[in-house]
Structure 1
């Protein structure tokens, strides 16, 4: 029989689409994962992956193994986690895939208290703005907004139940460029944009007032990655580079300090808060069950 430890590593490589991405998800080295797959192929006597310098793809034998392996490993994980129910405190690793905004604005309110309540749980947070299959990424659950929720998932509210997109600029910039009364006025302004990992821009900007929704295609001198450049864009706005539009909570400290001034505040659009979502399995892993219960009980 093949070493059972090599089977989940093979599955992680296929689900991630490569050794480097699988290494990021599993926390193991790409070379170690490659060796595990080679070892598995040698023991089974068949090639499981076709490899090129740019990609990997399962062979027919590999696909058949994956079809049987995924459900089998899920059953094994469920069976082992039943033991967690006999512990005084849940233990193990919990992996969450969350947008950067949730990592910045939602999780800091809950993570310290959760870790204090469950010292035997190790929490791993993957913060990114690409909308991935959380299970394929090796995660137990994710946080997303309702328009991004998958239909076969269970969703639990987490964080504030209503949020707003806010626009702001430095007083100095507005003194020079002029203040706005209608979203269309932004067409004459320098606006700071974000770009998602998939390439899409945070454009158009959407505003709402008295039932009227206005979408404006803006432009400007700066585009930052939404996964890591938002703070840079905020500092640029504070420095007078232009108008920024982002979660109100992200801008609130700078608005309260007077470094930024609200733009079109009567037009800021509200939307429902995020959800913790996870697959509807009969037996949830102990760490995930603890986090779900903690999120349900939290006050926001």
Structure 2
């Protein structure tokens, strides 16, 4: 059987569909479909369950994925040895990051990194849920400390202190009044985020050791990712109060389009971490990125 057919199957299984796998691999969806069918015919067993909405591995397919992943990783590591003979590192670095990190933390870091290493391509997957980065086909992930995978090496990346900020438009506050205590928000229209599961996190405030947790209500709810823009735009339009990472609201606070609320109650939290497998021989793009982040941390850059 063809090695490319095995690679095609793994790409489709990781992406959860032929179209997404085609975008990631540069091979057409029809080409991937033909390769997977050819592989299934050669093996005499179905590897993927296909519906009009999704593709998922069968039990046999999952077993094959588990055996293929380390083999392909070893092949990639073998080819990566050639990087030592190049003047500059090359290859693809695959990162799995949450939406807030993609919007606030990564942009200045990647701008400097890609200028320093123009032959490296960074492939970023934005995902707020907890994932096994290796099973997801990524080299490393970025998460906050409470979401880190076990048995991984973790190094700080980006600002070491962040805050949750609360804000609303001046027009909304002129009409509804300005809260002076977090519990006042219970009588306001609040724009709330949701976890991927649909659960909604409480809004938490802290001042001088006093912690206040509330569950406000309002006209708009949105799950992570690009939906954060809906909450921000809702606040800009005067629909209600937004509560999220300060970095997401900072441009609008600085412009005056949003007015900060309860700033003395804004709760701080530690910054994110880059985490990756603790194996000895890291792929060259990942090793280069890790060294870059360590040097950046040592220089005091966020």
Distance in 2, matches of 1:99 and 1:50, equals: 29
How much has 1:41 moved relative to structure 2? 2.2
Residues 10 and 37 of structure 1 are in contact (CA less than 8 Å); yes or no, is this contact kept in structure 2?
yes
How much has 1:51 moved relative to structure 2? 4.0
Cα distance change of structure 1 residues 252 and 64 upon mapping to structure 2, 3 Å threshold: closer
How much has 1:52 moved relative to structure 2? 4.7
Match of 2:280 among 279, 282, 289: 282
3-state secondary structure, aligned to 1:123 = strand
189-198 vs 280-289, which moves further: 189-198
Distance in 1, matches of 2:47 and 2:83, equals: 34
Q: TM-score, normalised by structure 2?
A: 0.90
Residues 82 and 283 of structure 1 are in contact (CA less than 8 Å); yes or no, is this contact kept in structure 2?
no
Distance in 2, matches of 1:60 and 1:126, equals: 26
How much has 1:53 moved relative to structure 2? 4.8
How much has 1:99 moved relative to structure 2? 1.2
For each residue in 1:128-164, what CA deviation from the matched residue of structure 2 results, as whole angstroms up to 9, or x when unmatched?
3233222222221111111111012211111000000
Aligned to 1:145: 144
Write out aligned runs for 1:198-277 (5 A).
198-201=197-200, 203-277=201-275
**How well do the aligned residues superpose, as a CA RMSD in angstroms?**
2.2
5-14 vs 280-289, which moves further: 5-14
Write out aligned runs for 1:106-255 (5 A).
106-201=105-200, 203-255=201-253
Residues 162 and 273 of structure 1 are in contact (CA less than 8 Å); yes or no, is this contact kept in structure 2?
yes
Match of 1:291 among 289, 292, 297: 289
3-state secondary structure, aligned to 2:183 = helix
How much has 1:46 moved relative to structure 2? 3.9
Distance in 2, matches of 1:195 and 1:172, equals: 26
- Check if 1:99 corresponds to 2:103: no
Residues 155 and 277 of structure 1 are in contact (CA less than 8 Å); yes or no, is this contact kept in structure 2?
yes
How much has 1:92 moved relative to structure 2? 1.1
Distance in 2, matches of 1:235 and 1:55, equals: 32
Q: TM-score, normalised by structure 1?
A: 0.90
192-201 vs 163-172, which moves further: 192-201
- Check if 1:84 corresponds to 2:83: yes
3-state secondary structure, aligned to 2:81 = helix
Distance in 2, matches of 1:225 and 1:59, equals: 29
Distance in 2, matches of 1:276 and 1:283, equals: 17
Task: Give ranges in structure 1 of 5+ residues lacking alignment.
Answer: none
3-state secondary structure, aligned to 1:106 = helix
Cα distance change of structure 1 residues 150 and 239 upon mapping to structure 2, 3 Å threshold: same
Residues 16 and 136 of structure 1 are in contact (CA less than 8 Å); yes or no, is this contact kept in structure 2?
no
For each residue in 1:254-291, what CA deviation from the matched residue of structure 2 results, as whole angstroms up to 9, or x when unmatched?
22222221111111100000111111222111111111
Aligned to 1:66: 65
137-146 vs 47-56, which moves further: 47-56
How much has 1:42 moved relative to structure 2? 2.7
Residues 142 and 276 of structure 1 are in contact (CA less than 8 Å); yes or no, is this contact kept in structure 2?
yes
How many residues are matched? 298
For each residue in 1:63-122, what CA deviation from the matched residue of structure 2 results, as whole angstroms up to 9, or x when unmatched?
443343222112111111122122221111111111111111111111122111111111
